[in-house]
Every structure is written in C-alpha cells, then in structure tokens.
Amino acid sequence: MLEYWTRKVAKALFILAASTAPAFSDSVLTFKVGYGAGGITDIAARVISRHLPNHIETYDQAVVENVPGAGGIKLLRLSASPKAEAQDTAYFLAFQAISSGALDDIENGVTPARPRFISALVSDFPGCWVAADSPISTAEQILQDGVSYGATGRGSSGYRFPASFRSANKLALDVVTGYSGAAETFAALERGEVDVVCLPPLDTTNLRRIGYFGPIGHTDESGLPNLTDLVADDEARALTELFVFQAMPVFVMFMSEHASEQAAEALRAAIANMIEDTAFISDFERAGYVLNPTSAQELDRLYEKFAAMSPETIERLMHLIE
C-alpha cells in the first residue's frame, strides 16, 4: 500500500518539477512586477497577462512574478543586468521608479540603462488626499507648519512631494515614513495618524482629493488646485515639475535593453491589438482602471529628459527632496 502511494507521489513530484519549468520555457511570457502581490500594478499585470497571449503568436501563456524591493528599483536593476532574462520577460514598474533609477545612475557617474519601452496603459496626475472628515479644506492648508504627511520610504513619491514643498517653501512639514505600502499609509490617514497622503488610493470613498501635481500653469477641469504652482521658488518649481512628468504614466511595461528590438516590437503590436479588444477593456475597467495609454515613443521622450540631465541639476534636485 505504502509502496503504491510512494510511486504515485514520486510521479507527482516529477510532474511538479516539470511545472516549475515554465520559468525556463520559451512559449511562456513572464511579467515581472516590481511591487508586492495584490497592489495596483500587480493587479493590472494579472489582467494583462490573461489577455495578451490572445494577441501574440509567440506565447501560449503569460505568468506574473513579483520582485518587490526599494520601490521598484530592485527590479529595475535586475532588468538592466547582463544576466537579465531578456527575450521572454516583460517588466512592470511605475515611471517614477524607472526615472529615479536613471537619476541615481547619473549621480553615480554611470550611464543609465535604456529600457525598451512597450507601453503604459494608465496615466494620471498624482495628487494629495485628506480624510473626508478632515478639517483641512484647501490646498494652502496642507502647506502649513506642523501638517503631517504619510509615506512609505524616502525614495517614494509619497515622500518626495512633501519633501520638495518642505525645502522649497521652507516649511516645518512632518513627513512620517516607514509604512509598508499605499494601503497602510491610507489606513494611517483614516485613523488620524497623519493629515495628508500623496499617493494613489485604492478606494476614494472616505477620502477627499485636495490638489494635484500638474505641469506649471496647468489647470484641471475638476477645478482642483495645481500643487506644483504652489512651490515657492522658480527653480524649485521647475525641478518639482520634473517629478510630475515622471509620475504621470503608471504601470509602465518594458523589456530589458538586452532584448531584441523585434521582440519588443512584437509586444508593442500585441498591446496595440489588446487595447482594442472589448473583453480586455471590460476586465480592465471592472478592476477599477481607466484605460489611458502612453505610447513607447512618448515614454522614450519622457525618459530622455532624465537621461539627458546634468549631474549638477540632479544634485540640486536631490538636495530639494532630501
């Protein structure tokens, strides 16, 4: 009896081992997401992974793997390494992480990697939020001494926006860091531990948007104030605007610079087909996203702005946010 089951289990083990093999297989496209499972980027990648194989002949299946760490910088570094899984792997990161990595490289005298951009399916101006019952009602009120902001780490956009306000406007803003993610930061906002959070929320039911970060002089049809315009100093405002543009496209999909251009082109074509597919649009919108794609060319143009920055400008930028 025991021998019978032993043989059965041994057989199952070989099948299980073979099931690990998709990571090594050519007909499977791997989506590596730079954040934890269940986050907004992860969910978007999972919805895309379900539909993309229907629009590309090369792959039968797409699987999602999470590689969190340092707000996405870990995955960015992995994607740029010569050992990166180039041909059958696409990476998902917020543009903010990609450009921050480029800035770090330039600051350290290293030529930044050139990701092969595929597309970004969602774009939005980042904003700041307060709890629905908060006494704060205007954008000016979040720029007063003693107001506390919640953020994850010091490399996150949630930290950098208030930090740039603090330096440029010479304010005593209190930025609380160390929360594990957007959900935990918004929970701290709701329970009154912090006053403001500048991150994208999952659910806006008990929140109020107090302003957004747009290009200098930009006005929004919602009537909300453009927070960039409230940065006091001209140079600081210009530098803050850079963050605005880097944060606009979210869920950026790219391949390693070691991947072939043909492979990247095939994925771009597949994405272009997929975003016309009503089944995909329905699933994507059901998950709470608004489809608003940014093309690979546009992403290249945005990235170029960072890759072309001088070390002196970057130093001023870093000084502003640190």
Partner 1 sequence: MEAIAIAAVEVLALERLLYLVIGVLSGLVIGMIPGIGGIFGLSLLLPLSFTLDPYSAFALLMGMLAVTTTADTIPAVLMGIPGTVGAITTVVDGHPLAKKGHAARALGAAYVSSLVGGLFGAAVLAASLPLLRPIVLAMKSLDYLVVALAGFLFVSAVSGPSLAKGFMSLSLGMLVAFIGLDPVMGEERLTGGFLYLWDGLPISVVFLAVFAIPELVSIQLRGQIAETAATSLGGSRLAGARDALRNWPVILRSSTIGSVLGAMPGVGVTVIDWVAYGVERRRHAVEDSEPPFGEGNIRGIIAPESANNAKEGGSLIPTLAIGLPGSASMSLLLGAFMIHGMTPGPKMLTENLPVTISLIYFIAMANILAAGICLGMSRQLARITTASHAVILPLTLALILIGSFQASRDIGDHLTLIAFALLGLAMWHWSYSRPAFSLGFVLGPLVEKYFHLSMQTAEVDDLARPSVVLFFGFLLVFVANGIRRGRRTGRSRQASDRSQFIPLVVFIAAALFVLGSMNALPVEARLFPQIVALLAILSGLVLSARLLRSLDHPAPERPAPEAIRKPSLRMFLVPGVLTFSVVLFHGVGPVAGVAGIAAIFAMRAIRQRVISHRER
> Binding residues for partner 1, per CB under 8 A?
1-2, 6, 9-10, 13-14, 16-18, 20-21, 23-24, 36-39, 42-43, 46-47, 49-50, 64-71, 74, 77-78, 81, 148, 153-155, 174, 176-180, 183-184, 186-188, 190-191, 193-194, 202-203, 205-206, 283, 286-288
Which of residues 139 and 188 has its CB atom nearest to partner 1 in the complex?
Answer: 188
CB 220 within 8 A of CB 227: no
Instruction: For the CB of residue 117, give the shortest distance to partner 1 in the complex, in Å.
Output: 22
Instruction: For the CB of residue 140, give the shortest distance to partner 1 in the complex, in Å.
Output: 24
- Name which of 52, 74, 71 is nearest 61 in CA terms: 52
Q: CA-based Rg of the chain, rounded to a whole angstrom? A: 22
Instruction: For the CB of residue 150, give the shortest distance to partner 1 in the complex, in Å.
Output: 9
Rounded (10°) CA dihedral 202, 218, 71, 208: -30
Which of residues 302 and 320 has its CB atom nearest to partner 1 in the complex?
Answer: 320
Which of residues 304 and 322 has its CB atom nearest to partner 1 in the complex?
Answer: 322
Which of residues 199 and 302 has its CB atom nearest to partner 1 in the complex?
Answer: 199
Which of residues 110 and 202 has its CB atom nearest to partner 1 in the complex?
Answer: 202
Instruction: For the CB of residue 5, give the shortest distance to partner 1 in the complex, in Å.
Output: 8
* E strand or H helix that includes residue 67: none
Instruction: For the CB of residue 55, give the shortest distance to partner 1 in the complex, in Å.
Output: 16
Which of residues 89 and 167 has its CB atom nearest to partner 1 in the complex?
Answer: 89
Single-letter code of the amino acid located at 129: W
Single-letter code of the amino acid located at 291: L
Instruction: For the CB of residue 251, give the shortest distance to partner 1 in the complex, in Å.
Output: 14
How far is it, in rounded angstroms, from Cα 152 to Cα 241?
21
CB 140 within 8 A of CB 147: no
Residues 6 or more apart whose CB falls under 8 angstroms from that of 253 comprise 31, 48, 90, 91, 92, 117, 118, 119, 120, 121, 267, 271
